[in-house]
């Protein structure tokens, strides 16, 4: 999974010969898991067709404030489009458009959207050598970067005029890698190590049977995705789960039993900055494991059980610099039990969910949580997808760590 996965990317296309490269740029963003919309200056349509870009992006391409051929068409609201984007990239960015951006001109839809955008704005200049080197162009580059825009430098090579030098728009692959690197460098958890335990544990009775629970691991997986998308190196200690996850910043450590999970956690703990214990770990395991399948022999059958290692308690006792988060799944006296667990396990934050709340708990794609911090401040949230819950949890972690 790329850091661009799930991002809303707005590509602005201006009237330069390099506009033909935009098709490849759209394709690469889509391949990275991003959602893409394209806006063009009217003159850009002479270089690449809106049909091509709308087909690749799977979204309509806009170039004017309204459709002149349809008197009933809705106005293309530049504010809404600008606020939609997580990232805006103008490629190619001609000298004409860049100079208008620098002085705040707004004589077409693309420029109006640029002025409304609240997201990071990248621009990839594309022009001939003499234009690129002109003092007015240098001043434009400086002014735009002073505004907070991010320049993707042009490359050197043969230009449309036949001259050789700097002015070629960066290749689509270069633009993608530049933006990915820039996003990663600015993420709040860049350089941090996060460990998340997730899923159930299976405690063997014999080679066929085990003691387990209904946890799917989905909540922990969503937490891992959010942490990685915030720039962290993530260790996901995952019990038996059908959920697959691929992300360049997530290392999955597959485990089966509580003992396996305990050993994995102990080996990684000292290197972690944030630890979230979202796994549903078995409290007990069979004292003796049969090497052969146990056959039916009597109407009653009993298994002697012994306690498993209390992983969360161990982490609380050995906490140094770690920010430690636990989960409490309760069915009665929910808040009181969660507060007791928060204190007894030496946690910074506990995530409470109740099986009495419809849509919360195991298996489903939603959860309803209440967050209680070490000062016993309480924040209750409505029912949300587990992906949204994971974002809420990390928002709270970031708030508490910055206090």
DSSP 318: T
- In the block, tokens 């080996």 appear at 267
Q: Using CA atoms, how far apart are residues 334 and 349, in angstroms rounded to an integer?
A: 15
**Is 213 tagged catalytic?**
yes
Report d(CA 322, CA 327) in Å as an integer: 16
Q: What are phi and psi of 348, to 5 degrees?
A: -90, -25
Alpha helices in 9-49 (DSSP H): 22-31
Count the Cβ atoms, other than its own, within 10 Å of residue 253: 17
Closest CA to 266 of 322, 222, 305: 322
Residue with tokens 């489903």: 364
Q: Which residue has the tokens 């990071």?
A: 120
Catalytic residue among 77, 213, 346, 398: 213
Which element (helix H / strand E) includes 378?
strand 378-380
Task: Report the phi/psi class of residue 105: left, alpha or beta, with left for phi > 0 and alpha for psi in -120 to 50.
Answer: beta
Q: DSSP labels for 320-333?
A: SS-EEEEEEEESSS
- Mind giving me the DSSP string for 106-134? --SHHHHHHHH--S-EEEEE---HHHHHS
Which residue has tokens 């387990």?
212
The pair of structure tokens assigned to 361 is: 């708990």
d(CA 65, CA 170): 29
Report helix, strand or coil for 76.
Answer: coil
- List the structure tokens of 375: 């000062």
The residues annotated with a catalytic role in the active site are: 213
């Amino acid at each position: 999974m790329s850091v661009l996965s799930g991002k809303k990317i707005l590509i602005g296309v201006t009237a330069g010969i390099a506009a033909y490269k935009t098709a490849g740029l759209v394709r690469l963003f889509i391949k990275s898991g991003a959602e893409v919309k394209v806006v063009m200056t009217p003159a850009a349509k002479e270089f690449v067709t809106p049909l091509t870009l709308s087909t690749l992006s799977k979204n309509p391409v806009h170039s004017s404030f309204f459709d002149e051929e349809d008197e009933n068409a809705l106005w293309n609201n530049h504010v809404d489009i600008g606020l939609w984007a997580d990232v805006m990239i103008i490629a190619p960015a001609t000298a004409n458009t860049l100079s208008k951006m620098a002085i705040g001109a707004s004589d077409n839809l693309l420029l109006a959207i640029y002025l409304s955008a609240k997201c990071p704005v990248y621009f990839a200049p594309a022009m001939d050598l003499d234009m690129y080197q002109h003092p007015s162009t240098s001043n434009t580059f400086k002014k735009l970067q002073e505004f907070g825009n991010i320049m993707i430098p042009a490359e050197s090579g043969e230009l449309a005029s036949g001259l050789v030098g700097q002015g070629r728009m960066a290749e689509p692959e270069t633009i993608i890698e530049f933006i990915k690197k820039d996003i990663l460098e600015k993420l709040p958890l860049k350089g941090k190590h996060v460990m998340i335990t997730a899923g159930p544990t299976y405690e063997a009775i014999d080679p066929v049977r085990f003691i387990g629970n209904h946890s799917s691991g989905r909540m922990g997986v969503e937490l891992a995705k959010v942490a990685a998308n915030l720039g962290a190196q993530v260790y996901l200690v995952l019990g038996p789960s059908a959920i697959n996850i691929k992300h360049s910043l997530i290392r999955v450590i597959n485990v089966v039993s509580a003992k396996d999970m305990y050993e994995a956690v102990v080996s990684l703990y000292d290197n972690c900055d944030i630890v979230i214990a979202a796994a549903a770990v078995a409290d007990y395991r069979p004292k003796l494991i049969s090497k052969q399948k146990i056959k039916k022999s009597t109407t009653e059958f009993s298994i002697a059980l012994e306690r498993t290692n209390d992983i969360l308690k161990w982490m609380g006792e050995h906490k140094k610099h770690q920010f430690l988060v636990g989960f409490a799944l309760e069915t009665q006296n929910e808040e009181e039990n969660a507060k007791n667990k928060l204190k007894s396990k030496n946690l910074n934050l506990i995530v409470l969910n109740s099986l009495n709340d419809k849509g919360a708990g195991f298996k489903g794609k939603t959860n309803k949580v209440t967050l209680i911090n070490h000062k016993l401040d309480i924040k209750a949230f409505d029912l949300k997808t587990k992906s949204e819950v994971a974002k809420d949890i990390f928002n709270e972690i970031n708030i508490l760590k910055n206090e």
